[in-house]
Structures are given as C-alpha cells and as structure tokens.
Amino acid sequence: MLVFKFGGASVKDAEGVRNLAHIIQGYQNNQLLVVISAMGKTTNSLEKLTKAYINGSEDIYAIYEEVKAYHFNIITQLFDKNHPVFDDIQNTFVEIDWILEDEPQDSYDFIYDQIVSVGELVSTRIVNAYLNYSGITSQWVDVRGYIHTDNTYREGAVQWDKTCTAIRRDIPPLLQKSIIITQGFLGGTSENFTTTLGREGSDYTASIFASCLQAESVTTWKDVPGILNADPKLFSDTKKFDELSYSEAIEMTYYGATVIHPKTIKPLQNAKIPLLVKPFTDPSASGTVIKEDGVNNFEKPVIIVKQNQVLLSVSAKDYSFITEDHLSDIFRIFAKSHTKINMMQTSALSFTVCIDDQAERFEPLLTVLNEYFRVRYNSNLKLLTVRHHKNNSLQELTNGKEVLLEQLSRNTAQMVVR
C-alpha cells in the first residue's frame, strides 16, 4: 500500500492535473491513497479573502471571484462543458458564500479554517473527477471524517487513537476497490467543524495515513528534484541529497526547511516508513529518500532562510534579573498565543526571541507582554540557519548584512540579519 502527496504547484493548472493522472496511471495495480493540496497559490488567495472578510474590506468579492474564476478556468480545459464537476465545484464554494453572507462573529483562527479549507475540497473534487473521466477509477474521501483533531484552529492537534481507529476501520476496504483521493492540511473536530494542521500541512496528512495504515512508503511530489541543501530560488549552486536520515530531516524541518512539513517525519520514523521526495516533472528520477539508516553527505552546508522575522526582547519592568519564574510566565504567554519561537537567547536582564511576523498573532502577543514586561522589537528581518557550517560559508552569507543576534553550536549556526 502506497501513499502519494501532491502539492499545490503540481496541480496549479490543467496540464498539472493531466500530469498527475499520468503519474497515477503507472500505479493502478497498487493500493494507493493520494493526498492533494489546494491548487497553485489558492491558499494564499483564501488567506487574503479571510483577512478582507474580517476587516470588512471592499474587495472581498473581487478576491473571491478571482479564486472561483481560476478554478473554473482549469476545469473548462479538462472537461466537456456539461460535465457534473461544474455543479460540484459551484456547490463546494457555497460553503464560503454562507460565511460571507453574515458579519464575522467568531475568532480569526476559526474563520480562517472554515474559509481556507475550501481550497483542498475543491482541488480534490477536480482531480477525482478528472481521474474517473480519463478512465482511472478513484473515490473522493472527506478527510475531516478521518483525521480527528482538538479545537485548536490553524494548529489542530491530532487525536491519534480516534484517527487511527477510523482510518483502519474504513480505508482498507475502499483501497481494495479503487484509488482514494483525499485532502491534505485538514482535520475535523467532534463538533464537525473544520480545522487545519498548520501551513503546508499536507505532508503531515500523508504521514498520518501512512502510519495508521502501515504503508510501504510515502512519496511527496514536488517542483524540485529532491531535497536540496538550500532553496534554489535563493541560491544558484545547490546540491541534492540522495539520502537523509530521519533525524537530519527532523532537524532541517524544525529550523524551517519548507520542502517538508515539520510534523511529517516523526510518525514515519515511529513506523519505519521511508519518505521519498520526487519531482513531479520527472517521475522516474530518484529524488531523495529519508529513512532510518539514510546516509547524510554534507559536502555543502544546509542553508535555511526564514523571511519576515521579528526580533523581540523582553525584560522586567523593575530591571531585575530574568529568572526561571519570568521565563515560565513568558513561555506560557507564547504558548497561549500559539507563537512558535525560532531562536532564543537569555542574558542577565533580557530574554530575546526571533519569531515569524504574523500580525494576527503578534499584535495580541505584544499586548499581553506589555502588561508585565518592557518590550522592544525589530521587524523586517531574516533568520539564517546553517547546518554543518564552515566559517567561510557563514562569512559569505552575512557579507554586507548587519547581524543582530548570533548563535553557534557544534552543528548549527543561527543569525538574525538585516
């Protein structure tokens, strides 16, 4: 039994959907579960729509119509004009229509999940319809009935026992009849509300299914030849890893490597299931294999760049030392605001962190911190993380940049730069 995951770039247009069908066609003799993300940059567009709705912006419907037009343009190129998929997609978008009819009442995170999740629901309906249209038997499955989470919207915590029980009960019989098409990134609560698993969480979805079903492997199809030592959009001289160990992959994703979601590896490691990262433009290419005994070859250091960072320093209002009691209070505030710390450093009088600049979380966090501490911060920064660094590589990366904070350990260097 195999699990495939296709990201948004692989289904960004009609040609991408056709290519996906071509790849799947070669695996029709396997039991195959396919996890699919929203098409292209749909998640970004639906995030923009969510903010416009919350803020009461005048361009709400312009944004929404653009999202719908993008999808209908794709299906117009894939299907005859009388195909029922046109009605299916229109009915799926109705979920957003219902939300936009009323004034926003719920929290931003709750509304975000109800709107943004429609991207995956639409993309999977289109792909499932096209597979059947082209002669490949597949069945659409609503992932929200199988991946059960708590009520932490935008960061749903998976309830593993309930999730695996549901998957093991229903999915194997379905796999014996057809290929399964389901959504990445989404989960469901006990009250039947939609949650999301964190940005780019479709990889995690694939690993959840694979772990519960004891799959032979997970293959995530990307727009890169495999896992590279750096982002090819930022660095011209990159090198692909043929293999990586689970532990190194976990380190890379923890520090922000975006090719794999941070939570993806652990379920696979626990079940000893290899993860293959392969290019959807060249399905026969070897890609990268992540496994327990993967060989790590670091001819070049691993470079991870996180954009749009904030460097925030917290100190006691009475200028006393930063103690364990202070740190306990600070961490509790960060946890309650669901703010992940990317780097931290403590001195006698201050505690400094580097975090993502997310206005909807940063501003409430700042309000609470200011009640108890003195707070200073700088924004529009970058966080550079270098695994298996060498002195010359660090100098090249920081040349011409102002380094605001730096940490060096045996294997990892981190620098906040402006």
Give the integer Cα–Cα distance in Å for 92 and 238.
41
Residue 284 contacts residue 348 (beta carbons within 8 Å)? no
- Residues with Cβ within 8 Å of residue 89, at least 6 apart in sequence: 71, 72, 75, 122, 125, 126
Give the integer Cα–Cα distance in Å for 225 and 261.
17
DSSP state of 149: B
Give, in order, the Cα–Cα distances in Å from 89 to each of 68, 119, 353. Answer: 9, 11, 44
Give the integer Cα–Cα distance in Å for 321 and 89.
59
Cross-sheet strand order for the sheet of 217-222: 138-140, 179-183, 32-36, 2-6, 217-222, 275-279, 288-291, 243-245
Q: Which residues pair with 407 in a beta bridge?
A: 414
Is beta strand 243-245 parallel, antiparallel or unpaired with respect to 288-291? Answer: parallel
Residue 133 contacts residue 90 (beta carbons within 8 Å)? no
258: annotated binding-site residue? no
253: annotated binding-site residue? no
Instruction: Tell me which residue has tokens 């919350």.
Output: 54
**Strand ranges for 19-100 from DSSP E:** 32-36
Give the integer Cα–Cα distance in Å for 323 and 348.
8
Half-sphere exposure of 391 (CA within 13 A, CB side): 0
Give the integer Cα–Cα distance in Å for 39 and 118.
11
Exposure of 148 by Cβ count < 10 A (0-12 exposed, 13-18 middle, 19+ buried)?
buried
Give, in order, the Cα–Cα distances in Å from 45 to each of 51, 64, 70. Answer: 10, 8, 11
120: annotated binding-site residue? yes
5: annotated binding-site residue? yes
Apex 320 CA angle, 314 and 322, nearest 5: 50
**Residues of each annotated binding site:** 5-8, 43, 120
Provide the annotated binding site for ATP: 5-8
- Residue list for the binding site for substrate: 43, 120
